[in-house]
């Protein structure tokens, strides 16, 4: 195939993108809620009995079904109607079928995704499903596929060549595994390409000490960074959750506040739903394409969670294994605008051969395999279906036996007033982590033995009714609340968010829902204030005094509040953005990725430089930051939360898909997380707080949820962005449990009848 043909293909796809941007996203007349409801498929439905779906003005459904199977079917139907395009795209990502949408430029991504093989364990998982899970999943997929096959075609379907192709159980499980991608992969990608170079062992030690988490390492190729961003935007990699016992609550009921942190793409990766059937009665958040509630509340129990950031993967050097232990198969990758490509997929007793991916740079002759808990036949669907029916904390914990990915800290609040915390995952039974190199020798029985006996929820830390009546979770090391527990990981978040959450909760004895609302909107980072003071002290001590006194005056006395109106936050980040890269270059150390690396190493590395070099770096950073700071008034002027369809991330043609950019407070590790890298001026937040949930167990109707964006994934729908004003006002949509309140607050009614 010629280069000319490739250029024509790219030109055609670019033109199609422009056409869609002009006719759908930028349509001056949005599609009304009533129009979207009228388009819901209602004929040929495979129901046993009638189903009632009540809707509110934001297109949130509340489903009332007389059988569990009809509930499952209706959930699938609603998901397919509201999020068909998103689900089909997620399926194609999870199955390594990007080139079918984007053409040959995506082929290497598909090869890497197929090596990761998110559906690897699907056949065994399906075989092991208990009858009630199999029945629920079968009916859910029937409803989902009815909407995909017979409902209106999503606007992006033509642009991305999304066919009316049914979602299979294996597709569904692959999407679940995609959402459970190991957050440690991002740090390992950057580290492995330096293997064998001077200082490699020190870099591994720094990663273990300072953490890598979900930050994308510097030094990646554009294609590596793009693959990492793709996985980060769909994986569960952050979050805050707090639980308050009845003894600390003003209402006399336990409370919970949950705040997931994920990629800021639209449609949101969550959708809201209420449901009632003989076995299920709850409200909560679901991932489109999956038949389970991830976080929510029933009459008896509410729960939320944060990513555990566990090390659920190991990399093995398998170069010395006998050739007979390596199997090879060919995979065909369909390419839009082109013919098919063929690639080899190799497998080993220690997992797929990841070094075969062109996107991963390794040394010549190096053969590396990935062993990941997501390739084990764990059963999250059954676990979460049972969790939704749990009546207390003990039943909730027991239901999670067999849960594997994503590794989660799950926090719950009981109707009886108790609270608790459960570590839900499977992990190899390690004794610790290697000191000089994360790559393990496949010939070493001590390295492979931990994978023969996996720890699960029964072996891992748990916490029940702590005496202080408060539980906080913010991706921290579990050893902060269970010292001496098993080794779980090395890339935990800095404790800045955790400290701030505890400070806010300890400030009041009788906590109210309003306090939890304020907590989710809080923009303080205590360690940022400490770091700013430390830098000012060093700048003031420079020979001749501090440079740029007018700029530094805006920073003095800062308490670490990243409010959108803050001048100090602006100055601090511009100064840090100039100083940190210079320190890393001078020391020959990796760039500071996550906030934990900044708080752990930046001052240590700066003070370790010769005095003259240190002073020159400080002065140069201030002089370079000053003109940047003079151009802007405050943090919100440069720090913006983007409301844009997923295609807005494409270069060149993505801009028309951005609906708006809103000034926002917060930063990397503030409770209201709005993550960013080092800055020199205006930038978009692409990762952070994007969904909220608060429940007070004293009242079955006291449940509030909101999404960044909206409930509907249909481009141009009135429900596509309708929740952004609520988000900006720190308000939520009430999702009640009592039928009479549901009837009053969800006035739009759809009745589904058996065919």
Would you say 258 and 707 are in contact if contact means Cβ atoms under 8 Å apart? no
Please state, as a whole number, how many other Cβ atoms lie within 10 Å of the Cβ of residue 605: 19
What is the DSSP pairing of strand 639-644 with strand 470-473?
A: unpaired
Q: Is the pLDDT of residue 8 over 50?
A: no
Q: Is the pLDDT of residue 263 over 50?
A: yes
Q: Is 136 in a helix, a strand, or coil?
A: helix
Q: Over the stretch 161-209, which tens digit does the pLDDT of each residue have?
A: 999 999 999 999 999 999 999 988 878 887 888 888 888 898 898 888 8
Would you say 346 and 326 are in contact if contact means Cβ atoms under 8 Å apart? yes
**What's the pTM?**
0.94
Q: Is the pLDDT of residue 644 over 60?
A: yes
Q: Is the pLDDT of residue 363 over 90?
A: no
Angstrom distance (rounded) from CA 243 to CA 304 = 9
Helix (H) or strand (E) holding 74: helix 68-94
Q: Is the pLDDT of residue 320 over 70?
A: yes
Q: Where are the domains of the chain?
A: 3-103+125-170+266-293+700-752, 240-265+298-305+384-434+454-520, 526-559+567-633
Mean pLDDT for 528-539 is 98
pLDDT of residue 484: 82
Q: Which residues contact 432 (CB under 8 A, 6 or more apart)?
A: 487
The three-point CA angle 221-223-226 to 5° equals 110
Q: What are phi and psi of 271, to 5 degrees?
A: -140, 150
pLDDT of residue 19: 43
pLDDT of residue 638: 98
Q: Is the pLDDT of residue 358 over 60?
A: yes
- Which stretches does DSSP call E strand in 309-449? 313-317, 327-333, 341-348, 351-352, 368-372, 408-414, 419-424, 427-428, 439-441
Instruction: With CA atoms as reference, report the closest residue to 58 among 722, 702, 706.
Output: 722
DSSP per-residue string spanning 180-203 = T--THHHHHHHHHTTTTSTTHHHH
Burial state string for 666-695 with b = 16 or more CB within 10 A and e = fewer than 16: bbbbbbbbbbbbbbeeebbbbbbbbbbbbb
DSSP per-residue string spanning 505-549 = HHT-SSB-HHHHHHHHT--B-HHHHHHHHHHHHHHHTSTTS-S-H
Give the pLDDT band (50/70/90) at residue 560: very high
pLDDT of residue 439: 95
The three-point CA angle 298-302-304 to 5° equals 135
- The size of the chain, in residues, is 755
Would you say 701 and 737 are in contact if contact means Cβ atoms under 8 Å apart? yes
Angstrom distance (rounded) from CA 658 to CA 498 = 33
Give the pLDDT band (50/70/90) at residue 24: very low
Dihedral Cα 443, 445, 450, 452, nearest 10 deg: 90
pLDDT of residue 653: 58
Give the pLDDT band (50/70/90) at residue 381: very high
Angstrom distance (rounded) from CA 475 to CA 603 = 24
Give the pLDDT band (50/70/90) at residue 226: low
Q: Is the pLDDT of residue 229 over 50?
A: yes
Angstrom distance (rounded) from CA 622 to CA 624 = 5
Q: Is the pLDDT of residue 11 over 80?
A: no
- Secondary structure, 3-state, 341-359: EEEEEEEECCEEEHHHCCC
Average pLDDT, the chain: 91
Angstrom distance (rounded) from CA 753 to CA 440 = 58
Mean pLDDT for 111-121 is 97
pLDDT of residue 681: 97
pLDDT of residue 225: 57
- Does 3-103+125-170+266-293+700-752 match 240-265+298-305+384-434+454-520 in CATH topology? no
Q: Is the pLDDT of residue 319 over 70?
A: yes
Give the pLDDT band (50/70/90) at residue 233: low
Q: Is the pLDDT of residue 25 over 60?
A: no
Give the pLDDT band (50/70/90) at residue 212: low
Dihedral Cα 532, 537, 539, 544, nearest 10 deg: 160
Angstrom distance (rounded) from CA 723 to CA 715 = 15
Instruction: With CA atoms as reference, report the closest residue to 525 among 563, 483, 472.
Output: 563
Q: Over the stretch 297-317, which tens digit does the pLDDT of each residue have?
A: 999 999 999 999 999 999 999
What is the DSSP pairing of strand 419-424 with strand 462-464?
A: antiparallel
CA distances from 461 to 63, 305, 391, 420, 466 (A): 36, 15, 21, 11, 13
Q: Which residues contact 338 (CB under 8 A, 6 or more apart)?
A: 1, 5, 6, 9, 99, 103, 104
Give the pLDDT band (50/70/90) at residue 230: low
Higher pLDDT, 415 or 158: 415
Q: What are phi and psi of 105, to 5 degrees?
A: -65, -15
CA pseudo-torsion sign 17, 19, 24, 27: positive
pLDDT of residue 190: 77
Angstrom distance (rounded) from CA 735 to CA 745 = 9
User: Could you confirm whether domain 240-265+298-305+384-434+454-520 is CATH 3.60.20.10?
Assistant: yes
Q: Is the pLDDT of residue 1 over 90?
A: no
Would you say 45 and 370 are in contact if contact means Cβ atoms under 8 Å apart? no
Give the right CATH number for 3-103+125-170+266-293+700-752 from 3.40.1030.10, 1.10.439.10, 3.30.930.10, 3.10.450.50. 1.10.439.10
DSSP state of 717: B
The three-point CA angle 24-30-33 to 5° equals 125
Distance of CA 154 to the CA centre of its chain: 24
pLDDT of residue 193: 80
Angstrom distance (rounded) from CA 591 to CA 207 = 11
Would you say 703 and 694 are in contact if contact means Cβ atoms under 8 Å apart? yes
Angstrom distance (rounded) from CA 187 to CA 173 = 25
- β-bridge mates for residue 297, sequence order: 283, 302
Angstrom distance (rounded) from CA 493 to CA 597 = 9
pLDDT of residue 228: 57
Give the pLDDT band (50/70/90) at residue 12: very low
Give the pLDDT band (50/70/90) at residue 645: confident
Distance of CA 4 to the CA centre of its chain: 39
Give the pLDDT band (50/70/90) at residue 238: confident
Would you say 212 and 203 are in contact if contact means Cβ atoms under 8 Å apart? no
Q: Over the stretch 705-747, which tens digit does the pLDDT of each residue have?
A: 999 999 999 989 999 999 999 999 999 999 999 999 999 999 9
Q: What are phi and psi of 234, to 5 degrees?
A: -115, -5
pLDDT of residue 5: 42
Q: What are phi and psi of 517, to 5 degrees?
A: -60, -45
């Amino acid at each position: 195939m010629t280069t000319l043909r490739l250029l024509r293909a790219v030109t055609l796809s670019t033109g199609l993108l422009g056409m869609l941007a002009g006719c759908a996203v930028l349509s001056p007349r949005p599609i009304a809620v009533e129009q979207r409801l009228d388009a819901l498929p209602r004929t040929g439905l495979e129901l046993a009995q009638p189903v009632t779906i009540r809707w509110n003005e934001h297109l949130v459904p509340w489903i009332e079904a007389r059988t569990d199977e009809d509930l499952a079917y209706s959930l699938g139907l609603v998901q397919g109607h509201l999020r068909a395009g998103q689900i089909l795209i997620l399926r194609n990502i999870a199955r390594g079928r990007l080139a079918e949408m984007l053409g040959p430029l995506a082929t290497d991504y598909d090869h890497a995704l197929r090596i990761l093989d998110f559906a690897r364990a699907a056949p065994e998982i399906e075989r092991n499903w208990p009858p009630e899970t199999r029945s629920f999943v079968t009916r859910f997929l029937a409803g989902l596929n009815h909407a995909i096959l017979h409902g209106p075609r999503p606007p992006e379907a033509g642009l991305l060549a999304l066919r009316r192709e049914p979602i299979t159980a294996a597709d569904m499980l692959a999407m679940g595994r995609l959402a459970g991608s190991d957050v440690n992969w991002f740090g390992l990608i950057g580290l492995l390409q330096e293997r064998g170079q001077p200082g490699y062992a020190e870099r591994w030690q720094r990663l273990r000490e300072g953490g890598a988490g979900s930050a994308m390492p510097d030094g990646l190729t554009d294609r590596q960074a793009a693959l990492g961003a793709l996985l980060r935007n769909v994986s569960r990699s952050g979050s805050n959750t707090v639980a308050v016992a009845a003894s600390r609550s003003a209402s006399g009921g336990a409370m919970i506040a949950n705040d997931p942190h994920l990629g800021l793409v639209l449609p949101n990766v969550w959708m809201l739903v209420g449901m009632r059937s003989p076995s299920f009665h709850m409200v909560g958040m679901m991932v489109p394409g999956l038949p389970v509630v991830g976080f929510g509340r029933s009459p008896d129990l509410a729960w939320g969670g944060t990513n555990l950031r566990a090390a659920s993967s190991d990399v093995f050097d398998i170069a010395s294994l006998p050739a007979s232990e390596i199997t090879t198969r060919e995979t065909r990758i369909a390419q839009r605008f082109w013919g098919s490509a063929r690639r080899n997929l190799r497998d080993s007793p220690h997992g797929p051969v990841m070094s075969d991916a062109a996107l991963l740079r390794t040394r010549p002759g190096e053969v590396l395999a990935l062993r990941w808990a997501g390739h084990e036949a764990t059963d999250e669907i059954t676990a979460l279906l049972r969790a939704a029916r749990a009546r207390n904390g003990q039943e909730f914990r027991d239901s999670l036996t067999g849960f594997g990915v994503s590794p989660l800290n799950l926090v719950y609040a009981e109707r009886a007033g108790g609270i608790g915390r459960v570590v839900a995952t499977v992990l190899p039974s390690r004794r610790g982590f290697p000191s000089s190199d994360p790559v393990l020798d496949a010939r070493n029985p001590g390295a492979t033995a931990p994978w023969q006996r996996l720890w699960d929820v029964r072996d891992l830390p748990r916490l029940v009714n702590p005496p202080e009546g408060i539980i906080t979770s913010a991706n921290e090391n579990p050893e902060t609340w269970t010292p001496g527990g098993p080794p779980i990981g090395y890339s935990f978040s800095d404790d800045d968010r955790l400290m701030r959450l505890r400070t806010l909760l300890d400030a009041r004895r009788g906590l109210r829902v309003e306090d939890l609302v304020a907590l989710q909107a809080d923009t303080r980072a205590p360690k940022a204030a400490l770091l700013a003071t430390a830098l000012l002290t060093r700048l003031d001590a420079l020979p001749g005094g501090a440079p740029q006194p007018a700029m530094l005056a805006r920073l003095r006395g800062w308490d670490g509040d990243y409010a959108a109106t803050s001048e100090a936050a602006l100055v601090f980040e511009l100064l840090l953005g100039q100083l940190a890269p210079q320190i890393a270059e001078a020391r020959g150390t990796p760039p500071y990725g996550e906030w934990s690396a900044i708080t752990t190493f930046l001052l240590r590395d700066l003070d370790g430089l010769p005095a003259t070099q240190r002073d020159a770096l400080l002065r140069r950073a201030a002089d370079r930051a000053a003109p940047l700071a003079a151009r802007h008034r405050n943090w919100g002027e440069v720090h913006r939360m983007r409301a844009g369809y997923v295609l807005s991330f494409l270069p060149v043609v993505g801009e028309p898909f951005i609906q708006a950019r809103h000034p926002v407070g917060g930063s990397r590790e503030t409770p209201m997380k709005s993550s960013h890298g080092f800055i020199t001026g205006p930038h978009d937040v692409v990762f952070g707080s994007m969904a909220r949930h608060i429940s007070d167990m004293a009242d079955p109707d006291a449940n509030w949820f909101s999404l960044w964006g909206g409930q509907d994934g249909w481009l141009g729908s009135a429900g596509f962005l309708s929740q952004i004003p609520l988000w900006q006002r720190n308000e939520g949509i009430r999702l009640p449990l009592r039928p009479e309140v549901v009837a009053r607050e969800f006035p739009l009614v759809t009745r589904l009848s058996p065919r």
